[in-house]
Structure 1
């Protein structure tokens, strides 16, 4: 498992019970016991791939965990339906439950970053009996909303959400695809480099005006950048996640989802102090909904924690899992 060589990981492509075809990496440790070896299910965000976890997979497997990392729906080698409704969080969670069923895992430690953090937390609400523990990165937990607010209204209250208004507009798909290299350079940039792109209209202007992005210091080397370019050529699926807000609200209301995560669920939240998506006030607010929350702030780090703080993320998750004694418990069985 060489992080710079995607082909060195164990890739699988299977049709789930939901009839959707998923590509995923499935790494099994030495001395694997199907009945007792804990499994880590890692869920990436936007605009990412299974490859976003490339630095964590190997160390976690060598520690003794099975690690399963899918390309989420619409990404990479996974199915890419054209209907927006197919990307609802409830359906994504059905896929994840189907993936666990496929690999013969009843309960897993679910780990999510960015959009994956949101999906992972909703998986804990829709399928609480399928989790051993939950790890969220970069995006703090937000409970199901008591009422629906269009993203345009949200962006008026939270100006740094303006980019989501752009993504929710179907016209953004072609514009992003036509300028994908620039788009990736901007999105994978380090904090406080280049221009702000989160405000209303800023990202679209940056792309369409062909602005110079050389000031954006990126997290991807040339090979990694090309890999993402090849895997994300079709952006309809990834952008569709931002077009499901009304559907998600209606699903959660109909499902009468709890605002609190399960009382007995251990939850770890890792966040960068330079990440505008992880404001301290939002982290504190999440505590009222998560009885067993532990958080760890990474000073000076931004949004792409698995890359810019790869060793810290790897070890913090392992240390936390060690305290839960999952491997020790498995060894006794």
Structure 2
């Protein structure tokens, strides 16, 4: 493998594709250099509003260490899937759910002939790999969760509106659950990237107070809250363009926004799933991420008999962009240790 600039999307090899449960899934597949002994495979699973390119720094770093690195676009991000308005319940329930997205990962590994691997997830990808390991435990050798801690499968369905009342920080999800958000972001993708991807500690970044201020019932979307926003320093202009070009290539934000509309369809799939995750797990939090705070973290210890927790200082939710070296070191040093084995 030739070493290249990971911030240049054109430097990566062309994406490959596989048919996974009726969806053509596109994925990056980065092999180690020919002179390296292959240590195994790492499957990287992105969140919202990312795509495989979220993992650019990790793909280069870990492939050079000897890992085959796979980074797919998850369901909703492949541009060949049905579009569903928020009111189109039939299409949404038929096509979009965590269980179906988890089955896509299973089908992709089957297509690649990979029995099991290390699995890494961030944001919605963290929730997805949590559900993936509960449904396909034999596929996961070790598990890494970035910024979003474990959320056990609910035993009763709670609509998003009720969740947002209990946890005001989730009000932004009500906005993303509307067709208005799709129209607004599609019309201003460059502004969306500058507003949404902010460094940790930035007053305009993802903070609990900001998330709680975004909501459809009072007309507040991200563009109303931030009518004038300085360019984000989280990514280079070249990287931002890669994101804008990607959104346009898949026909806009309809697919990505489905992740905020999957709760109902996903409930029945996992309501009886095992709560405890026994696989050796690393949680990597970020100092300025509101989801990485104590109230969210402490409860997860009851569900992981083999858990290691690390925090990246001076970083926010987009930790893989903001502190790639620290994220890489946290995962690399953990992989160098023997997997924990035990039981609660």
- Residues of 1 paired with 2:36 and 2:107: CA distance? 21
| Cα offset, 1:200, TM superposition | 4.5
- Residues of 2 paired with 1:106 and 1:258: CA distance? 22
Three-state SS of the structure 2 residue aligned to 1:166 is helix
Three-state SS of the structure 2 residue aligned to 1:232 is helix
Contact 1:44 1:112 in 2 (8 A): yes
Matched with 1:151 is 160
Matched with 1:232 is 247
Matched with 1:331 is none
Write out aligned runs for 1:165-184 (5 A).
Answer: 165-184=174-193
For structure 2, the 5+ residue unaligned runs are 84-90, 340-344
| Cα offset, 1:2, TM superposition | 2.2
Normalising by structure 1, report the TM-score: 0.89
Matched with 2:331 is 317
| Cα offset, 1:194, TM superposition | 3.7
Q: Which one is further off, 241-250 or 77-86? A: 77-86
Q: Which one is further off, 179-188 or 238-247? A: 179-188
Give the 3 Å change call, closer, same or farther, for CA 109–44 of structure 1 in structure 2.
same
Write out aligned runs for 1:9-48 (5 A).
Answer: 9-31=12-34, 37-48=39-50
Q: Which runs of 4+ in 1 moved over 4 A?
A: 31-34
Give the 3 Å change call, closer, same or farther, for CA 177–106 of structure 1 in structure 2.
same
Normalising by structure 2, report the TM-score: 0.87
Give the 3 Å change call, closer, same or farther, for CA 210–277 of structure 1 in structure 2.
closer
- Residues of 1 paired with 2:175 and 2:124: CA distance? 16
Matched with 1:207 is 223
State yes or no: 1:258 paired with 2:274. Answer: yes
Aligned-CA RMSD value? 2.1
- Residues of 1 paired with 2:20 and 2:313: CA distance? 42
| Cα offset, 1:99, TM superposition | 0.7
Matched with 2:151 is 142
- The superposition leaves residues 28-53 of structure 1 with CA deviations (integer Å, 9 ceiling, x where unpaired) of 1135899x741000001011111111
Contact 2:117 2:140 in 1 (8 A): yes
Matched with 2:285 is 271
- The superposition leaves residues 221-276 of structure 1 with CA deviations (integer Å, 9 ceiling, x where unpaired) of 111111101101310000001001111112212xx201111x2x100000112101
Contact 2:175 2:221 in 1 (8 A): no
For structure 1, the 5+ residue unaligned runs are 326-333
Contact 2:8 2:239 in 1 (8 A): no
- Residues of 2 paired with 1:32 and 1:128: CA distance? 32
Matched with 1:84 is 92
- The superposition leaves residues 67-105 of structure 1 with CA deviations (integer Å, 9 ceiling, x where unpaired) of 001122222x55333232322000001110111111110
Q: Which one is further off, 187-196 or 51-60? A: 187-196
Give the 3 Å change call, closer, same or farther, for CA 225–156 of structure 1 in structure 2.
same
Three-state SS of the structure 1 residue aligned to 2:7 is coil
- Residues of 2 paired with 1:291 and 1:32: CA distance? 37
| Cα offset, 1:206, TM superposition | 3.8
Matched with 1:52 is 54
Matched with 2:311 is 297
- Residues of 2 paired with 1:54 and 1:162: CA distance? 30
State yes or no: 1:284 paired with 2:301. Answer: no
Contact 2:96 2:265 in 1 (8 A): no
State yes or no: 1:96 paired with 2:111. Answer: no
- Residues of 2 paired with 1:33 and 1:102: CA distance? 24
Matched with 2:259 is 241
